[in-house]
Amino acid sequence: MGARFDITIVAKDSALAESSIDTVIAEITRIENLISDWRPQTQVSKVNASAGIAPVQVDAEVFALTERALDLSRLTAGSFDISFAAMDRIWKFDGSMETMPTAEVIKKSVEKVGYQNIVLDKVNSTIFLKEKGMKIGFGALGEGYAADRCREMMLSRGIKAGIVNGSGDMSTWGKQPDGSDWVIGINDPARKGKLFAVIPLRQGAVVTSGSYEKFVVFNGKRYSHIINPSTGYPATGLTSVTVFGPSAEASNGFSTSLMVMGKQAGLDLINRFGEYSCVIITDDGKVYCSKNLDISKYRRR
């Protein structure tokens, strides 16, 4: 999945902890071999290779993940789009970009993106991409899905506490060995290396999307590395979005979507889902939270 995974297991002895970590690694590898869109042998790669040609039958697991991603695409009206993988990579965030792409180039970059052109057949468990050149990808959901799956697997095996962290998509359960809650630190975008807040986690997941490390500035306006798949333009206005909830997969989908949707539309969306909460930091340093979270008690400044 192109991501670093950090795995923490609390167990009665080191042998059990190590064997459990090996099991988690094996599960992450299994999922990668199902959903990677850069390994040609995976089911998702086969779906992409058959775009505009024919439906491809996939496992129930891949179908269900695609179905959830498509539901999120509809829910956010394309602020999240599972077919973003077909987007031309015209934006560079490595310091090499000196001029902004033209409107024509930006428009062309997303001409193969469009969740509306994905056809799912539940009876036959097939996925069909209507247009040649279309692609689906799980870069924004895969790590969270894997983290959630590993948490469920460990709980079913009697491992009562741990963390699976897929490149910032963090799924936790149980407590630390001393009985205290796991805690998550939210980076302060305005002060590198400093924490904005430290929040306890209880049997939940947390994901942060941010633009404070990868961005470009043109004419005094800051453009995030998170691209709006509907328009091809980078997200603007928000520096950081942290989402808490029961699922790392859904939290990742929400955090990415909120970066694109912006403050008000994003808060309106997350407030519809009582199990999820969020902290938003804008480009000008203002902080906003969902209705069910009071960040003031956890702030470091």
| Residue ranges of the binding site | 140, 256
CA distance 255 to 280: 9
Residues of each annotated binding site for Mg(2+): 140, 256
